[in-house]
A and B are shown apart, each in its own frame.
Chain A
Amino acid sequence: MGREAKVRRAMPKSRYYFWVGVFLFIIFSIIFLIYFATMRIDYVWAWHKIPSAFMYHKQVEIKAEIQGTVASITPEKDQSLIKVKGTGEEETFTVPTKDLRVSVNDFVYPGDVLASYGKWQTGIMLQGVWITLKVSLFSIIFGIIIGIIGGLSRISDNPAAKWLAITYVELIRGSPLLVQIFIWYFVVGTMVNQLLLAYGLHEIPGLWYGVASLACFTGAYVTEIVRAGIQSIGRGQIEAARSLGMSYAQSMRYIIMPQALRRILPPLAGQFISLIKDSSLLGIIAVRELTKATREVITTQLNPFEMFFVCAALYLVMTFTLSMFVQYLERRTQTA
């Protein structure tokens, strides 16, 4: 690999740098044009609001629940014990010492703030990234399992296995993913959850129907990739394995699959990168993944331009990381 033909004329240094300059000029022109256009429509850039969509400092207040007087405050290191005495009742609160709002003998009503403390909380965006990663990871794992079973069935001599695999692949590849997601959520999801409720069991959250739709969708493509990978291994390999007395399953496991897997890594990587991007569709069935999270943030922060750029960049980071990881695997599995 990496031995693509390099039939080209040597380019003089000066001309080379000229074209590098052209590249940079075009990139910066596009960025400037976008910026210029936003200025013309009086768009107010608010990049500074973005971090709060990921992490924010939250002030937590501890409130009194009864009416009475503060009987005592006993400090213990960082924490303090506040004892509130009411008529015939008594309550004790453990609060951080730093931000005490009451002193001994104060009279408090229910709802009065006794103390407060700050706390870092994860924002919607970070949760969105997490959901996207989670959905993608599960879909990839199930997609691989479906794909390997499907690929082996596809090349099987058994008509039931073979035709099932063909039907599955054609159905999935012939219909839009969006429609498949709707079917999984509104048709399958409704049926399964109704049945579960009827038998007194818990409903399955929408996220898992999303995972199912993505896994099924990817599985069909992985099936074809696995089939092509297996068929690309020469007949001689399985003949050699079988002639040594190995069963079909053993030959597949020790001889064909290891070689096929190495060949299908690059197309698999492409498929899984697609999958990460396709997970953005799950917002429509109320799975709060990255794109849905972005849109929710926009409704409160009113900065759609920035947020969509950030959203796209985050997908880029995820897909790029995956592609780097696969390249690393490819290099590691290459023999000699």
Chain B
Amino acid sequence: MIEARNVFKTYYVPHKVEALVDVSTRIEAGEVVVVIGPSGSGKSTFLRCLNHLETATSGHIIIDGVDILNPKTDINKVRAEVGMVFQSFNLFPHKTVEENVTLAQRVVRKRSKKEAAERAMALLVKVGIQDKAAVYPDQLSGGQQQRVAIARALAMNPKVMLFDEPTSALDPEMIGEVLDVMKTLATEGMTMVCVTHEMGFAREVAGRVIFMDAGRIVEVGTPEHFFKNPTHERTKSFLSQIL
């Protein structure tokens, strides 16, 4: 489904930073991969490279058989297949909840008004927020906004969902409702890549955990392997600090 081959990402502004160094991994369809690591380890950069919000400096990123680093690739077409959920929700404040979910369906997928509205409603029911369809995002709590953001991404019928620290900006009591939605998605077989600090989620849902540090993939393994007997020293010290 997703293949990253020798991905490098170097920033030169304001000074040279190697955000990703020789990152290679494969993510199969239906797999749930959780990426963990200290801040500045490049995990968000890696995720953002996967849908070309950041351009990798070199290497290959192949999404569903298409190399998105090839300049000839229609990136908009690929992005429509890759849903993304942001830390800060990024709902469109001038559109109602329903319009947030229908807009891209209408504009990108060219669905009819009725079809888009039906799909939006079904998804809002799924994330448990159907009674807020007509309100504007600023009237919702953080947890509700993030659930709308998930519905907005799902409305495009993506093949992969990317989650960039979806619960980091939430009040503690709202984290659960968002994680529940993500767990449901995982059990339904959605391919997911999640950057998160929620170790409970990683342990419960992840098929595989990737630990990154200083732009490199340090260790990859199942959750049991990770939380019971990690091999690398860096992994051990990281986990000992957050668990």
Residues of A within 8 A of B (CB): 234, 236-237, 239-247, 250, 254-255, 258-259, 262, 335-336
Chain B nearest CB from A33 CB (Å) reads 52
B79: A residues at CB distance < 8 A = 242-245
CB distance A244 to B80 under 8 Å? yes
Contacts of A250 in B (CB 8 A): 107-108
Out of A243, A246, A258, which one reaches B82, CB within 8 Å? A243
B115 at the interface (CB under 8 A from A): no
Known: A244-B152, A247-B76. A236 touches B104 (CB 8 A): no
**Chain A residues within 8 Å of B84, by CB:** 240, 243
Contacts of B104 in A (CB 8 A): 241, 244-246
Taking CB as reference atom, which chain A residue is nearest B77?
A245
Total number of residue pairs linking A and B with CB closer than 8 Å: 67
What separation, in Å, do the CA atoms of A326 and B9 have in the docked complex? 47
CB contact list, B68-127 vs A, under 8 A: 76-77, 79-84, 86, 88, 90-94, 103-104, 107-108
A236, B90: Cβ atoms under 8 Å? yes
Kindly identify which residue among B53, B91, B107, B136 contacts A336, using a CB–CB cutoff of 8 Å: B136
Q: In the complex where A236-B86, A242-B53, A335-B93 touch, is A254 in contact with B156 (Cβ < 8 A)?
A: no
Contact code string B186-212 (vs A, CB < 8 Å = 1, else 0): 000000000000000000000000000
B139 within 8 A of A: yes
Q: Which residues of B contact A237 (CB under 8 A)?
A: 90, 92
- Bound-state CA distance A255–B88 (Å) is 16
Interface residues of B (CB under 8 A from A): 51, 53, 76-77, 79-84, 86, 88, 90-94, 103-104, 107-108, 135-136, 138-139, 149, 152-153, 156
**CB-contact partner of B76 in A234, A236, A245, A258, under 8 A:** A245
Contact of A240 among B81, B86, B135, B138 (CB under 8 A): B86
State whether A246 and B108 are in contact (beta carbons under 8 Å apart), knowing that A236-B86, A336-B139 are contacts in the complex: yes
Residues of chain A within 8 A (CB-CB) of B153 are 243-244
Contact assessment for A239 and B108 in the assembled complex, using a CB-CB cutoff below 8 Å: no
Question: A234: which B residues are within 8 A, CB to CB?
Answer: 90
The residue of chain B having its C-beta at the shortest distance from the C-beta of A255 within the complex is: B92
> A residues within 8 A CB of B81?
245
Given contacts A236-B86, A335-B93, A336-B136, contact A244 B53 (CB under 8 A): no
* Contact between B90 and A246, CB atoms less than 8 A apart: no
Bound: A336/B134 CA distance, A? 11
Q: What's the Cα separation between A240 and B148 when bound, in Å?
A: 13
Q: Is the CB of A240 within 8 A of B90?
A: yes
User: Which residues in A have their C-beta under 8 angstroms from that of B108?
Assistant: 244-246, 250
Q: Smallest CB-CB separation from B149: which chain A residue? A: A240
**Cα–Cα, bound, A246→B103 (Å):** 10
Chain B: minimal CB distance from A258 (Å): 5
Top 7 A-B residue pairs of the complex, sorted by shortest distance between their CB atoms = A245-B80, A240-B90, A244-B104, A236-B90, A243-B84, A245-B108, A245-B79
Q: What is the bound-complex CA distance between A336 and B137, given in angstroms?
A: 10
Q: Which residues of A contact B88 (CB under 8 A)?
A: 236
Residues of B within 8 A of A241 (CB): 92, 104
**Are A259 and B156 neighbours in the complex by a CB distance under 8 Å?**
no
A307 to B209, CA, bound (A): 82
Question: Given the complex of chains A and B, what is the CA–CA distance between A250 and B51 in angstroms?
Answer: 18
Min CB distance A260 to B, Å, is: 10
Interface centre among A237, A242, A244, A262 (most CB of B within 10 A): A244
In the complex, which of the residues B93, B94, B156 contacts A244, with contact meaning CB atoms closer than 8 Å? Answer: B156
- A254 with B107: CB separation less than 8 A: yes
Q: Which chain A residues border B82 with CB–CB below 8 Å?
A: 243
Q: How far is the CB of A170 from chain B (nearest CB, A)?
A: 25
- Within the complex, the shortest CB–CB distance from B87 to chain A, in Å, comes to 9
Q: Which residue of B lies closest to A253 (CB)?
A: B107
The 13 listed contacts between A and B (C-beta, < 8 Å) are: A240-B84, A243-B84, A244-B79, A244-B108, A244-B153, A244-B156, A245-B76, A246-B107, A246-B108, A247-B76, A255-B92, A335-B138, A336-B135
Please state if B93 and A259 are interface contacts (CB–CB under 8 Å). yes
- Docked complex Cα distance between A8 and B94 (Å): 35
- Give A229 to B21 CA distance when docked, in angstroms: 37
Minimum CB–CB distance for A255 against chain B, Å: 6
Q: CA–CA, A335 to B95, complex, Å?
A: 9
Contact A335 B51 (CB under 8 A): no
Alpha-carbon distance between A241 and B77 when the two chains are bound, in angstroms: 13
Residues of A within 8 A of B107 (CB): 246, 250, 254
